[in-house]
Amino acid sequence: MYRAGKARGDVSDEIPLAHRINTIGRVGSRAFKTLGLFSLFLSILFVFLFSNYLSSERKFTQFVRSEDKESIDGRLLGHLPYSEANKEDLRDVYPGLKMHKDVIKPLFKMQMAAAKDGVEMVFLSGFRSIELQNEIFYKNKSIRNQIAIERAKVSAPPGYSEHSTGYAIDIGDKYMRKTDFEIEFAQTPTFIWLERNAAKYHFILSFPKGNSQGVSYEPWHWRYEGSVDALRQFDVANKKRLKNSLK
């Protein structure tokens, strides 16, 4: 019986009575151990909570700092600064419409591919000098009786337009000219085709709906990113877009 109990690992029967009485001391040491473990647990919890608090503090400071960065990234009313393309890098697309020389080939290639699919795109505006942008921004603004903040939602201030790089182009639909520079352009076959195919020719929509720059949706305005130089021009804009897409 005794052995059987031992074999089953039933230890309680083995403890002599004297020892059982003496268990008060054991219970005491067990309580002490539990208390020790509990305080260890408490200190771990404290360290965990405190480090969490520290990291949230850090995140908050980082957030404030990044907000600072946004205000010092050179934007003016949401638009990023762009320098004017060198005259010798510009070529005619049509008479009166110039683009950076790197854009000409892919632009016509894209237009021809669209035509093959029965879509006729027209090019409305390409390179704009800072001087011309100045005229557009200030003249149009006064015609529309808008203040600069309102105007900047639909047009960049001079020195802040992607058009001055020679890489940006405004596109229309040959058969739906009433939609030129209008939100309705988004419903034209040209826009639908562009959405599906423009990336193949390295064109992207600069100001999609809800863009991180806070510029109004411009379905007609596309920019070329098919060269390292072009990519460099739009690096800040792309970083903002990337950051926004990760949110």
Residues found near Zn ion in the complex (CB under 5 A): 170, 221
List 56's β-bridge partners, or say none. none
Strand duo 221-224 + 168-173: pairing: antiparallel
214: left (phi over 0), alpha (psi -120 to 50) or beta: left
Residue position matching structure tokens 């100045």: 134
Other beta carbons within 10 Å of 52: 10
Element housing 168 (H / E): strand 168-173
* End-to-end Cα spacing for the chain: 70
CA atoms within 13 A on the CB side of 222: 29
Give the residue with the Cβ less far from Zn ion, 102 or 218: 218
Q: Which residues contact 133 (CB under 8 A, 6 or more apart)?
A: 156, 157, 158, 159, 161, 163, 164
